[in-house]
Amino acid sequence: MRAPTWLPMPVRRALRVVRRYWRVLARHLERYTAPARRAWRRSLQLRVVALTLVASSLLVGTFGAFIANSSTDILLSRAEDEARTAMNGKVDYALKQLTLYPQARDPELPNALNDLADELFDGKSGSPGSSIVSIRAENYPDLQAVTVPPTVDTSDLITRDMIEKVSAGSGKQARQIRTAEIYGQVTKYLVYGSPVPTRFGHVELYYMVPLTTEDQDANLIRTIVLATGLALVILLGVVAGLVTRLVVTPVRVAARTAQRLSAGLLDQRMKVDGEDDLALLAAAFNQMAANLQRQIVRLEEMSRLQRRFTSDVSHELRTPLTTVRMAADLIFSEREDFDPAVARSAELLQAELDRFEELLTDLLEISRFDAGFAALDAEHTDLVPIVERVAERLTGLAERAGVELELRLPDTPVIAEVDPRRVERVLRNLVGNAVEHGEAKPVRITMATDDAAVAVTVRDHGIGLKPGEERLVFNRFWRADPSRARQTGGTGLGLSISVEDARLHGGWLEAWGSPGEGAQFRLTLPVRAGDRLVAAPLPLIPRDRTAELSSSPRDRTAEVG
């Protein structure tokens, strides 16, 4: 995001620097936090324990704070009750003593105030934990304020606001909590102030009680609550980890067993311990694995028998086919001497024998792929002559169908490590299908290459493919429109064999189609045998349809390989 242009240039430069350093910091954070995020995503036990710790910490923290605050309030309330009771007693005693002096000018009054303060003081002089008594008569300059112990400075404890509340004449006591440094030690005090109505005027009595014991008790309670809460959270985390492990461990064992089963180790089973739900899960998993093993073995046996049957039938039919072929060739060569009807029958016999022989060849090829016996005879080959040869051999078919073949090939040789026989067969199938379904419109064959791959596309403008047919088109014996008369007399196995040929090369065979707008097939092969394909030099969707793709929900693509 660029900085707004209306900002001054120094500000924009500073923002660019900040943004650059922020990107660097984000990359470092991404790198260092990647293991933790990966562990969080992969470990159910870690997530359960972490969530348990967070939830228990919030719960225990809230409850502990409530207990600590309640305990502190109780301690403070008890201290206030005791201080209030003591303050009322001191006020009553001071009132009795000061009633003996009718006027402020009495020369004995200052000494009486000092004696009264000493009598009201109930602590040990010089002790940090002792209470403090102060008597003030600020409206009478002749009388000094008396504080016991006399060495204590009460200016931080008795504030001006409190003095104003006590001397307001309402006769009510004032209370506050203050912290001050007394005897070199910071101490919290509960300060009470009360007026003492005398016959000679207004006198104020202040009683300051240290809350050291209460603070110590409150700190001890908070420490106990914190330690107990921490121990409880840790205990809950350990319990959650153990409980989660009891559940997760069988799941992990089941996952590893499933991975071994998917890798082909069909004899793998879970250990069944006990009779609980986890044991029931293990037993059900083992039963499922046993059923799958039986089904897979049965299907493999059926597949093996099917492949063997197809191969045996194909081979066994070769001998009678050879005999019938020899007789058919003899009849076909003498057809001009026969009646027109017999001659036509000889031509049909020859055509069907050709198709039958092609079907046997395809069946043998499919059986070799199914059995895993197909081998790639790769060699460095120029693919341009192969495409030209395929187009030349299908020119007659294209002329009969009224289709024009357009070649767009590179001017320089395109060398790739491929099996030329298989590549030619794939291209022959693709071009033959395009001619058959081209609806008498041009078929364009395009080739392109880069450093890693070679791609050949075959584009027709015929009936196209309906949604979902772009994958079905590669199935064996599948036809888009069974009612259409075939011009090429194919076996229905061409595209299936082409897919296997592409896979054998490590390549792709893909299809795109749209109803009424034609189809395009793309064959992509690696330049070097064994290399892994990443991209194709040619697009799968034709260039004349790329601009319309976003507005046409009917377009479909499929990749096989």
Range ranked top by mean pLDDT from 202-206, 273-277, 400-404:
400-404
- For residue 552, what pLDDT band results from cuts at 50, 70 and 90? very low
pLDDT at 267: 80
Tokens at 155, concatenated? 């200016």
Picking from 23-27, 32-36, 328-332, 477-481, which range would have the lowest pLDDT averaged per residue?
477-481
Question: CA of 298: how far to CAs of 258, 267, 286, in Å?
Answer: 20, 15, 18
For the chain, domains (ranges, CATH) are 99-210 (3.30.450), 269-374 (1.10.287.130), 379-560 (3.30.565.10)
The widest CA-to-CA distance across the chain, in whole angstroms, is 169
pLDDT at 557: 43
CA 531 to chain centre: 31
Residue 479 confidence (pLDDT) above 80: no
Task: Please name the amino acid found at residue 150.
Answer: P
Residue 18 confidence (pLDDT) above 80: yes
- For residue 491, what pLDDT band results from cuts at 50, 70 and 90? low
Q: Could you tell me which of 445, 418, 424 has the C-alpha nearest to residue 525?
A: 418
Residue 551 confidence (pLDDT) above 80: no
More confident residue, 247 or 224: 224
Q: Could you tell me which of 536, 479, 531, 544 has the C-alpha nearest to residue 509?
A: 536
Spatial separation of the C-alpha atoms in residues 51 and 46, rounded to whole Å:
8
pLDDT digits (tens, 9 = 90+) for 246-269: 878 877 888 888 888 777 777 888
Tokens at 204, concatenated? 């104020």
pLDDT at 314: 66
For 379-419, the DSSP string reads: EEEEHHHHHHHHHHHTHHHHHHHT--EEEE--SS--EEEE-
For 493-523, the DSSP string reads: -HHHHHHHHHHHTT-EEEEEE-TTS-EEEEE
| Helix, strand or coil, per DSSP, at residue 162 | helix
Average pLDDT over residues 386-394: 92
Give 332's Cβ-side CA count (13 Å radius): 14
Spatial separation of the C-alpha atoms in residues 111 and 105, rounded to whole Å:
12
Spatial separation of the C-alpha atoms in residues 307 and 367, rounded to whole Å:
6
pLDDT digits (tens, 9 = 90+) for 502-540: 998 999 999 998 888 899 999 999 999 888 898 899 999
pTM of the model: 0.48
pLDDT at 524: 94
Mean pLDDT of the chain: 81
- For residue 170, what pLDDT band results from cuts at 50, 70 and 90? low
Residues of the chain with pLDDT > 70, as a percent, come to 88
Picking from 103-112, 345-354, 417-426, which range would have the lowest pLDDT averaged per residue?
103-112
230-237 own/partner pairs: CB under 8 Å, 24+ apart:
232/56, 232/60, 233/53, 233/56, 233/57, 233/60, 236/52, 236/53, 236/56, 237/49, 237/52, 237/53, 237/56
Average pLDDT over residues 93-102: 79
Residue 201 confidence (pLDDT) above 50: yes
Residue 411 confidence (pLDDT) above 70: yes
Question: CA of 191: how far to CAs of 55, 174, 176, 215, in Å?
Answer: 42, 8, 5, 15
Residue 372 confidence (pLDDT) above 80: no
- For residue 299, what pLDDT band results from cuts at 50, 70 and 90? confident
pLDDT digits (tens, 9 = 90+) for 305-361: 766 776 676 667 777 777 887 888 888 888 887 888 888 888 888 878 877 777 777
| Helix, strand or coil, per DSSP, at residue 246 | helix
pLDDT digits (tens, 9 = 90+) for 456-470: 999 999 888 888 788
More confident residue, 541 or 556: 541
Average pLDDT over residues 198-206: 79
Residue 556 confidence (pLDDT) above 60: no
More confident residue, 7 or 382: 382
Tokens at 34, concatenated? 């990647």
- For residue 387, what pLDDT band results from cuts at 50, 70 and 90? very high
Burial of 69-87, coded b for 16+ CB within 10 Å and e otherwise, reads eebbeebbeebbeebbebb
Residue 423 confidence (pLDDT) above 90: yes
